[in-house]
């Protein structure tokens, strides 16, 4: 990825797992690129749901805004003076990009057929 250098998010404690995020008091936001929703994530609640070893890397749940079919991208920052990083891995971004391309190709094939 262009931003954040080449460091692997799976090796960075404050972004790799929910337990690591809580330990480092990371600020995590759930952003929707379609409707602009920007919500602060309740890490304690997520920990209860996913466990402290759970991760937000490459997780893109559906947006909660009524009528919005966007997907959430989580962003995390270990402190107010540190820019946030998207909670993804290079492999995850590549896989998502392939899925979206395949989806576009399917739609195109349906139109042409």
Residues that bind Zn ion (CB under 5 A): 32, 34-35, 37, 63, 65, 68, 70
Residue 14 or 74 having the CB closest to Zn ion: 74
Residue 51 or 62 having the CB closest to Zn ion: 62
Minimum CB separation from Zn ion for residue 21, in Å? 22
Q: Any idea what DSSP says for residue 10?
A: G
Minimum CB separation from Zn ion for residue 7, in Å? 29
Residue 69 or 102 having the CB closest to Zn ion: 69
H helix runs in the chain, sequence order: 13-16, 18-23, 43-50, 90-112
Minimum CB separation from Zn ion for residue 67, in Å? 9
Give the DSSP H or E segment for 86.
strand 85-86
Minimum CB separation from Zn ion for residue 28, in Å? 17
Burial class (CB in 10 A: 0-12, 13-18, 19+), 62: exposed
Residue 65 or 84 having the CB closest to Zn ion: 65
Pairwise CA distance, residues 113 & 96, whole Å: 26
Closest CA to 18 of 61, 57, 48, 53: 53
């Amino acid at each position: 990825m262009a931003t954040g250098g080449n460091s692997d998010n799976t090796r960075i404690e404050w972004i790799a797992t929910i337990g690591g995020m809580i330990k480092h008091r990371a600020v995590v936001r759930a952003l929707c690129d379609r409707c602009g929703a920007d919500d602060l994530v309740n890490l304690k609640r997520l920990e209860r749901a996913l466990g402290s070893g759970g991760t937000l890397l490459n997780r893109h749940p559906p947006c909660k805004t009524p009528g919005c079919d966007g997907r959430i991208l989580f962003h995390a920052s270990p402190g107010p003076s540190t820019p946030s990083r998207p909670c993804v891995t290079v492999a995850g971004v590549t896989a998502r990009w392939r899925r979206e391309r395949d989806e576009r190709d399917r739609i195109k094939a349906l139109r042409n057929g």
